Structures are given as C-alpha cells and as structure tokens.
Amino acid sequence: MAECAHMKDDGDCEVKLDTRPSNQQFDPKRPEGDIVISKSVGQGGVNIYDDVYNIQYGLDQVAPIDGGPSPQLVIDGKCGPKTMAAIRDFQKKHFGWAGCDGRIDPGQQTIKKLNEKRNRNVYPTIPLSLNTDGWLLSGMLQHVPHIRACVHAAMTNISLAMNVVDNNMPGLLGADRPSRMRTLNKHFRIDNFKGAKRPVLEKMHDAYSFMLNVLDRPEAYTTLDTTNEGETISTVAFARLGGFHQKDDLTGKIVFRRGVLFATGIPDFAAFIFIHELRHYIAKDGTQGHFAKGWVTDPGMLALKETETINNCDTFAGFALECKNGDMERPIWVKTTVFR
Ligand SMILES: [Zn+2]
C-alpha cells in the first residue's frame, strides 16, 4: 500500500508506504532469522565485518527501553566506540554490571538475549550505496519505457482536446467534445475553469513534454538516496521543486529511496511515483506540488480548487496512467492521506 506524500518546507516530497509485505526482503543485507556470529564482536573481539554488521543491525532492532541504542547505530560493519557502548548498554540492561564486558561471543547469553529482544518488524536505517544498491535504481529505471508511454498517452489526450476545448459546438472538425474532454475533466476538471481553457491545456502539455526530456536521460536526472538523513526506511522518493530548470539541475535530482523496492515490481506503481516526482522536478514557478494526495476520486482530491488540480502531482500521475491504461479504478497501492 502506498501512503502518499508529505511536503517538506523546501518543496521536497516523499511518498511513504504504510505496510510492508512480511515476506519481502526489504534490505538486501538484512540478516534472515536469528543473528548468528562466527567470532566474537565488541571490546577485544575478533570483529569480522559481517559479524559486526549483523550485531549492529540486531541492536538497532532493539527498542531503547529494552536496552537498544538511541540514537540508532550507524550500520557500517566497523566496531567503534559507539557499537561497543551499545553492546555494554544492552548487557547492563539484561545482565547487570556483572555481565557487562562489551563483548558478544557466539552462542553465549548476550547473542541469545539479543535475538530474543529484537523486534523483527523494525527495519534499521542504512544509507544506500550506489555501488551495492544500484539495483534498486535500475529496478525503477527499467520502467522508463512504460512511463514514457504513459506520458505520451497523456500528451496525445491533451492534444486531441485542444481544438475542441473552447468550442462547444458538437461535431466541429468531426471531434466529439464530450468524449475528448472526458478524461481531462475527470482528473483536471478543465470545464470548471472560467474563460479560455486552451491555455490551461497548453501548460499541461508543456509539463508532460518537460517530463519526456528528463526521461530521455534518466541516469542524469535520478539517483539513489545515499545519505538517509533523519528519514525512515519506508520512504520511496523525493524531488527538488523546479530542479529541471535550475542552472545546476544535475545537483537537484529526483532521489529514489529504499522504499522503491515495492514499486520496482509493479509497472503502474513505478509510473505513478515517477510521474509524481517528475511533476515536482519540472515545476517552473514553485506552485506545483501537494494539494491533496491520492487517486482522482478520493475526497481530498475532489475538494481541490481548479488551480490546485492542474498543479497537483498525483493528478498528473493518475491522468497519465488512465490515458495509457484506459478507465481504471483506483489502484490498491494509492492511499489518500491528506485532506483539506
Ligand atoms: Zn511529492
């Protein structure tokens, strides 16, 4: 399930997931089942990288009230002072000062207690690396052809409507106005606009056209989040408002996060997220963003003002998907979270 997004002060946005399939391996390096170490970890220990990594991972799954580290450890496979202190704190909590030597030995009481106290549903935050986690990004970019097709479908729909939008005479040029405006009105409610409506369509067409420019070179305009600053592991993506039009556009990229794993296997989900972020990224005047989140029929979306509707990220994503796929109900992975 996708739980869409939160606007940050600087215009970045996130798309959040609210549930995780329990059978899905979320972090590729996550230890499966009980943590087992081959040699001792901690003060005076052998400290093999994999052992330290797994102990750090396990400690970060322990709640502070159960002796877990707060803030969480950086999971880097290196046994430094903070890792050793976290081991001592955990031991002190469960075995008192007598059992507090700062070292975890294979098969002994500390590793047993650690496995007992780990909350297996808590996923520690580990910064992504382009080297080892690049498959997450490529998993997203494999859908670029489908995403391009969605954007093209949206542009075609808008183009076909341009010549009829300001002309209420049925049958002119052989165009059937109601049918050509149907999807546009469903998502963008173009007919609610007063005055000439063609300029509105032209702006929207331009927006999708800019998106194609980004999709021409996704490797230049997208990246993985390799910092993970203060964020939860469930975040999917964010983008700098107007990044495409900034002089240093390559520094403000569309940033995918660990949560894209859930989208990589679902082409329409990937397209929804990507087009949503593209809408932020190609924004020119800073007004494009979140006025509500979710599918076109959600109450929050239906309550949008006209100018908000034509600038809303999810509206752009949902419209393109429907133009590509035909009529569709709200996808199960879209969930509204923001109401006016
Ligand atoms: Zn957003």
DSSP string for 235-289: B-EEE-TTGGGSTTTTTS-EEE-GGGHHHHT-HHHHHHHHHHHHHHHT-SSS--B
Confidence of residue 238 (pLDDT cuts 50, 70, 90): confident
CA of 67 to the centre of ligand 1 (A): 37
Nearest to 17 by CA among 30, 28, 32, 1: 1
CA of 137 to the centre of ligand 1 (A): 18
Tell whether the model's pLDDT for residue 45 goes beyond 90: yes
CA of 274 to the centre of ligand 1 (A): 10
Please give the pLDDT value at position 101: 94
Rounded Cα–Cα distance for residues 133 and 264 (Å): 13
More confident residue, 176 or 26: 176
CA of 288 to the centre of ligand 1 (A): 9
Please give the pLDDT value at position 290: 78
Please give the pLDDT value at position 207: 96
Please give the pLDDT value at position 28: 56
Long-range contacts of 316-319 (CB under 8 A, 24+ apart): 316/154, 316/204, 316/207, 316/208, 316/275, 316/276, 316/278, 316/279, 317/271, 317/272, 317/273, 317/275, 317/276, 317/279, 318/187, 318/272, 319/154, 319/157, 319/183, 319/184, 319/187, 319/188
CA of 100 to the centre of ligand 1 (A): 47
Tell whether the model's pLDDT for residue 88 goes beyond 80: yes
CA of 259 to the centre of ligand 1 (A): 14
Exposure string of 107-135, with b = 16+ CB inside 10 Å and e = fewer, is eeebbebbbebbeeeebbbbebeeeebee
Confidence of residue 81 (pLDDT cuts 50, 70, 90): very high
CA of 113 to the centre of ligand 1 (A): 42
Lowest average pLDDT, out of 91-95, 168-172, 267-271, goes to: 168-172
CA of 25 to the centre of ligand 1 (A): 26
CA of 272 to the centre of ligand 1 (A): 11
CA of 278 to the centre of ligand 1 (A): 9
More confident residue, 160 or 173: 160
pLDDT-above-70 percentage for the chain: 83
CA of 122 to the centre of ligand 1 (A): 25
Please give the pLDDT value at position 71: 83
Tell whether the model's pLDDT for residue 86 goes beyond 70: yes
pTM to 2 decimals? 0.71
Q: What is the DSSP letter of 173?
A: G
Residue-wise pLDDT tens digits, 187-220 = 999 999 999 999 999 999 999 999 999 999 999 9
CA of 17 to the centre of ligand 1 (A): 13
3-state secondary structure of 334: strand
CA of 226 to the centre of ligand 1 (A): 19
Tell whether the model's pLDDT for residue 161 goes beyond 90: yes
Residues with CB under 5 A from ligand 1 (ion): 5, 13, 313
